[in-house]
A = this chain, B = another copy of it.
Amino acid sequence: MANIDKNSQSNLNAALFAVTLDRAAEPALHLQLAGALRTLVLSGSHGGQRLPASRLFAAELSISRLTVTAAYDQLIAEGYLVARQGSGTYIAEHLPHLIAPEPRPVSAPKPARVLPFHPGVPDQAGFPHRAWARHLERAWRAPAAGLLELADPFGWYPLRAAIAAHLAAWRGLDCTAEQVAITGGAWDGLDILRGAGLLRGRRLAMEDPGWPTLHRLVARAGMSPEPLRIDRDGFDPALIPPDISSAIVTPSRHYPTGTAMPLPRRLELLHWAEAEGGLIVEDDYDSEFRYQGQPLPSLAGLDGLRRVVYMGSFSKLLSPGLRIGYLVLPEVHLAAARDYLSVTGARASVLPQPALAEFMASGEFSTHLRRMRRTYARRQAWLLRELAPVGNLLKLTPDAAGMHLCLPLRPELRATDRQVAALASAQGLTVRALSAHAQLPDPPQALLLGYAAFAEEALAVAAKTLIEILHNI
């Protein structure tokens, strides 16, 4: 301690004797004093110095000596101070990294806006926010028994029952609430299927083109994605290599081309799964929005939930930020999924679940879907009409369903879809290139134009910009 100079020691004492304590305030005086001492220690410049004797310190602050010793004891216990027998109490030495970093300027980032033609985003203006907020308030002001206790890792039962009823009515899928597992989205869904051992082998057959995020998620979940070129009927099971027994597909509406898989191909796919003892994951992402004809019943429904896991989500229906999706599992896999989820815990927040269950059970959800279906059908027709001037450059084929159009490039357009996407991006449009959705070489060329989230006026303005871009190529 010899090298601690007098100056520094008296600086410490001055700082200590300047401590002000508030007798009227919480917490107790000795805790206030301990807090002040801790701050001083953490300032980092007094390591190894001796603290004043408790009697002196108490007299300086006009407090009881017991208050000082209680504060010293607390900090000795915490390791900030060191008591030396017969010598007094010292500030611990060698406290690295104790100087608080400079405060940095903080400003909230601008939220990323959804620009025209962004696909897969639902309309917000049409969403019944007040009704939804009321359901939330009602569900949580006096939560039902069980909502806050030990959560079922499969999710809130009434929501699972509401989903089962919805799937029976809208997707021709006959399942029980017990088969529905609530997830936080596709990522959780894949992780559960993989973690619970439902997907045999590491390789997973996938559609190409397909959803690039899904491709990356599959890889992140520890599997090898095996992209297979789709044809006009969609995914072709005849292309699956013999050592692969799992596939993930979008039969109701191929993403992103919009192709619906016809019945014979569906049956081929189910036969393949049956023969291989394999598993098919049906990713059904927006088939509620069908404008002509009825939605095709789901592949899982056709199969009777034997070889098919159905994967659904509310992100296209309410908002991607909701992070609520679900799996519908064959009975035979329920125990394995439950075992896995018991280890990793429930995936989705319970918070939206009772409100969503009520929103569905009350019929407001179906009403909302039907209203959105009319809105989206109108927007699609409007967009196609607005794009008529470039009918010589793009194939303007209507789609019977969905939230975006996939418009193939005509040979008259002297540019690739990626070139158009880049030019559009520079003009503030989010136009996706179909070829960017492919892993295999020589992908088809088309533009993906989302229309669901944009009012007619916005679509008209954006269409004009796009037309100009195409005409100037």
Q: Does A239 contact B (CB under 8 A)?
A: no
Beyond A34-B293, A137-B136, whether A184 also contacts B106 by CB under 8 A is: no
Beta-carbon contact of A321 and B346 below 8 Å: yes
Contact A108 B157, beta carbon cutoff 8 Å: yes
User: How far in angstroms is the closest Cβ of chain B from A267?
Assistant: 7
B141 touches A111 (CB 8 A): no
**Judging by beta carbons under 8 Å apart, are A306 and B349 in contact?**
no
Per-residue CB contact flags for chain A residues 280-301 toward chain B (1 = under 8 Å, else 0) read 0000000000000110110000
Residue of B nearest to A81 (CB): B263
- Cβ of A97 and Cβ of B151 under 8 Å apart? no
Q: Which residues of B contact A293 (CB under 8 A)?
A: 31, 34, 74, 77-78
| A428 part of interface (Cβ distance < 8 Å) | no
Interface-centre pick from A106, A136, A187, A350 (highest chain B CB count, 10 A): A136
Q: Which of A113, A213, A303, A351 has the most CB of B within 10 A?
A: A351
In the complex, which residues of chain B have a beta carbon less than 8 angstroms from the beta carbon of A94?
267
Docked pose: A124 CA to B140 CA in angstroms: 12
B residues in contact with A172, CB < 8 Å: 42
Given the known A-B contacts A347-B184, A349-B322, A349-B352, are A263 and B80 also in contact in the complex, defined by CB atoms under 8 Å?
Answer: yes
Are A100 and B294 in contact, with the CB atoms below 8 A? no
Do B321 and A270 touch across chains, with their CB atoms under 8 A apart? no
Q: Which residue of B lies closest to A318 (CB)?
A: B148
Shortest distance between the CB of A408 and any CB in chain B (Å):
20
| Chain B residues whose CB sits within 8 angstroms of the CB of A303 once the complex forms | 97
CB closest residue in chain B, given A400: B77
A303 to B97, CA, bound (A): 5
Could you tell me if B158 and A108 are in contact, using CB atoms closer than 8 angstroms?
yes
> Would you give the shortest CB distance from A64 to chain B, in whole angstroms?
18
Q: Which of A50-58, A127-135, A432-440, A443-451 interfaces with chain B?
A: A127-135
The answer to the question of A278 belonging to the interface, with a C-beta cut-off of 8 Å to chain B, is: no
Known pairs A31-B293, A133-B140; A263 contacts B79 (CB<8 A): yes
Closest chain B residue to A158 by CB distance?
B108
Q: Given that A150-B112, A184-B347, A266-B79 are known contacts, is A133 also in contact with B129, CB under 8 Å in the complex?
A: no
Bound-state CA distance A137–B178 (Å) is 30
Residue of B104, B151, B267 near A321 (CB, 8 A) is: B151
Contact A174 B129 (CB under 8 A): no
Q: When each residue 134-164 of chain A gets 1 if its CB lies under 8 Å from chain B and 0 otherwise, what string results?
A: 1011111111011111111000011001000
A133 cross-chain contacts in B, Cβ below 8 A: 136-141
Residue of B27, B106, B149, B220 touching A111 (CB-CB under 8 A): B149
Interface status of A45 (Cβ within 8 A of chain B): no
How many angstroms between the C-alpha atoms of A106 and B127 in the bound complex?
Answer: 32
Q: Does A256 have its Cβ within 8 Å of any Cβ on chain B?
A: no
The verdict on A321 contacting B95 (CB below 8 Å), with A78-B293, A106-B178, A141-B129 known, is no
Would you call A363 an interface residue if the criterion is a C-beta within 8 Å of the partner chain's C-beta atoms?
Answer: no
Against B, the Cβ 8 Å flags (1 = close, 0 = not) of A302-331 are 111110000000000001111110000000
Determine the residue in chain B with the shortest Cβ distance to A136. Answer: B136
Q: Decide yes or no whether A402 CB sits under 8 A from chain B.
A: no
By a CB distance below 8 angstroms, the chain B residues around A323 are: 184, 345-351
Given contacts A136-B133, A293-B74, A352-B351, contact A187 B344 (CB under 8 A): yes
- Determine how close the nearest CB of chain B comes to the CB of A159; give it in whole angstroms: 11
Question: Which residues of A72-104 are within 8 A (CB) of B?
Answer: 74, 77-80, 92, 94-101, 103-104
Contact A184:B349 (CB < 8 A) given known A96-B271, A124-B148, A321-B147 = yes
Nearest CB in chain B: distance from A360 CB, A:
15
Q: Quick check: A149 and B112 within 8 Å, CB to CB?
A: yes
Chain B positions within 8 Å of A104 at CB level: 176
Nearest 8 A-B pairs (CB), nearest first?
Answer: A79-B263, A111-B146, A321-B350, A137-B137, A133-B141, A79-B262, A133-B140, A112-B150
